[in-house]
Structure 1
Amino acid sequence: MTLAQNTPKQNSTVQNSENPPDKEAVKTWIKEQALALGFSDCGFLSVSHPVFAKEIKRLQAWLDKGYGDCLPFLKENHHLRANPALLVEGAKTIISVRMDYLCDKPAPRCVEDDARPNHAIIARYARGRDYHKTMRQKLKQLAKLIEAKLPEWQHLTDGAPFVFRPFSDSAPIFEKAAAHHAGLGWEGKHTLLIHRQAGSFFNLGELFVSLDLAAPNEDNPAKNLCGSCSACIDVCPTRAIVGARTLNAAACIAYLTIEHDGSIPTEYRKGIGNRIFGCDDCQLICPWNKFAKITQVADYAPRHSLDDISLLQVWAWSEDEFLQKSEGSPLRRTGYLNLLRNTAIALGNAPFSKDIITALQGRIGQNPMLDEHIDWALNEQRQKQLKIDCQMICDE
C-alpha cells in the first residue's frame, strides 16, 4: 500500500493586491494549505466562543455522576477549558482540523475483529506513528505558511506579533465541541465526532493563532444526524456507553487497555475479547463509516505488522522488543507490563489451545499483577478444554 505524500499548493486563492483580502478569502487560503498538508478538513472558531462555558456545565454534570472518576485530569483546569484564550496569550482564533487515519476500509457495519480471535487487535489509529507528533508537526507547518502571508494580512493582526501554538489531545481543550461548532462534524452517541461524508475514523487537532478570523458569536455547527440509531450503544462489549453521548470511562476498553494501571476488573475481561490496545467496535458498527476515507498521511501506515499480528507473537515480546516496536508509537503509552496484562486477558478469551496454555505458564512468576491475569486466562482456557472433552464424550 502506498500513501500519498501531499505538499502545500503553490497557487493561492489570496493574491497580492492593493486591497487586503477579507476574512473569508484568508480562511479559504488557509483551508487550501491545510488540505494540501494532509488534513481532511479545517474550520475556524473564536477563542471566546460561548460553547466552551456551556461545555463546562456538561462536563461537571458528567463528573458528578462518577463517570470520570478514573480520569482525574478532567477535574482540573476548568478555568482553561471554559476560556481557551488563557491557554495562549494573544490568540484570537482556533483553527480546528481533522485528519483521517484509516489505511484500509473495514467492511461496513461489521466488527470483523471478532472473526480473528487469535489476533491481537490494536485500535486503527495506533498502528503507525503517534498521531500527536504527526498532528503537531503538520500544524506547525501550517502556522509557518500563515506566517509567511502576514505582510498581506496586517489588518487581521492589529499590528501585534504573530502568535501560534498547536495542540492535539495535549491541553485542557474541548476539542470535539470546537470541531463541532467549526463545522467539522457532530458528536455521535459514542461521544466521537462524526462527519456525514467521512465517518469518524479521524483525529482532531487545533492551531491557536493571533489572527482575528472568527467573531465570538460566529457559529457553524454540524447537524446531528444520528437519529434513532443506537448501534454504537448496543455493540459496546463492556456496556460503557450508558446513554447517548454519555460514556462510563471506567468501563471503556480504550481506557482499560491504555490508561488503566494495575488489575483490570474481572467483570470487563471477557468483554475485552482480543483487543489489547483500544477498541474500534462503536465506530466499526456505525452506518456513517461507510463513508470513511483512506488517509493521505503516510505516518498512519502500520509498523511492525501491528495490523496483522497474533496474540502469541505479542506475548513473546521481551521488554527490549516492546521498546523497539513501540518507539514513536502510541503503544508506548500503556507500557510493557500492562500490554502483557492486556494480552493475557486476550489469550484467555481466545479459543482453546495447548500452545496458549504453555505460553501463559511460561511467564508465571514475573510479576504478581501479571500472574493474577495469567491465572484468570489459564482458568478460561481450561474451562474451554473441559467443554471440548465433555462434548467428545457425549459424541461417543
Structure 2
Amino acid sequence: MTAYIILIALCIFTDFICRIKSGQLARKTLLALCCLSIAVLTGFRYEVGADYEHYLEVYDYINSPYIERDYEEIGYRLLNKAVDAVGWGARAIFIISGILLGIALYIFVSQVVAQYSWGFFMFLFVCGGTFFSSLNLMRQYMALSCCLVAYVLWKRHHSIWAVLLLALGVSFHRSILIVLLLFPLRFFLRRSRNMTILIMYIVSFTVLIFGMDSIISTIARIVPSWSGYANVDTNESRNTIALLKAIVPNMLLFYGLSKSRTLLPNSELAADTNNERYSQRSFMLTGTITFAAMSICFAGVMILTRLTEFFAPLYYVYLCRLIQDENREMKPLLNYAIYLYYLVLTIVTIFVMNSNDVMPYQMAWKVW
C-alpha cells in the first residue's frame, strides 16, 4: 500500500506545483517523475495483478518448442520470442510494458493537456482506476500506450506514423481497434450533437437492461483470447459500487454539456476539422461521451469495462478542462469534490476490496 500512497501523494504535489506560477522546467520534471514512478511500479512488480501468473505462463507457452501458440496477437508473441532469444526472461516483458506506458503518458500529457492540469491528469489516471487496471491488463495497456502516442502524432499531422503506431498497438491487443469508433461518432456529433447523444444513451440503457451476451460472443470472434468469456454470467458482478462508478462520470459529463464554454456547442463542433483546436476538442467530447455511455451499459462487467478504459484518457482530459474553465466561485468546490470522489473510490475499490488483485504491492529485486 505504501508504494501506491507515495504515488498518489506525488501526483497531488505535482498538481499543486502545476497550478501555481511555477516554471515549465519544474512542471516537466514533476510530470516526468510521475510517469517514471508508474513505469517502475508497473515494470518491477512481483505477483501484483490478477493476471500476473498468467503472463508468466504465456511467456513459457510462447517460447516452448513443444507448443504451437497463436492465441495472442502476433506482435506480443514476437516480443516474447525476442526477449527469450536474448536471454532476458519473462521479467523483461513487464519492464518493457512499464517503459511503454511511462513514455506514452509523458508524451500524451505534455502535448494534449494544458500545463496547468498536468498533475491533475496524473492524479485522475491513478485514482480513476486506470493505473491499477494496467497492472492486470498488460497487453491491453501496451496497445493503449501505442494508441496515445499515435493520437499525438495524428494531431501533429504525422498520419502515416500514427497509423503505423496504431497497427503496432493492434499487434499487442486487437481490442484497441474500438478507438476507431471515435471517427464515425465524431462525424455524427458534428451533424447533430443532441440526437447522437440521445441515440448513444438509448443503446447504452438497452444493453444495460437486456444484457450483453451477444456482444461478448461477437467480440470473441474478433479477439479469440476472449472466447472463454462467451458463457460468463454478465450480471454476476453488477453492484452498487459499479453503478456509482458509472453515475458520477455521467453527472460530470452532463454538467459540462450544460456549460457551452467547457465542451463544444454545435456551432464549434461543426467547425472546420482542419482547425487543430476544434479538432482536439471535438475528439475530447466524442471520447468523453463514449466513455460515459459505455460505463453505463458495461457497469460491473469486467469483461467489457476494459473496453471502456481505452477512452478514459480523453475523459480525464475533459475533467481537466472542466476544472480549468470553471468560474472562480465554483472551481474550488468542483475540484475538491472530484478529488474526494476519486480518493474514496481508490480507498474502497483498491485498498479495501483489492480490485484487480494489486494489493499488497511487492517489488521484484531480480531484474531479468
Give the shorter-chain TM-score range. under 0.3
**Normalised TM-score (structure 1):** 0.26
Structure with max Cα Rg: 1
The structure that is helix-richer by fraction is 2
Flag the structure with higher strand content.
1
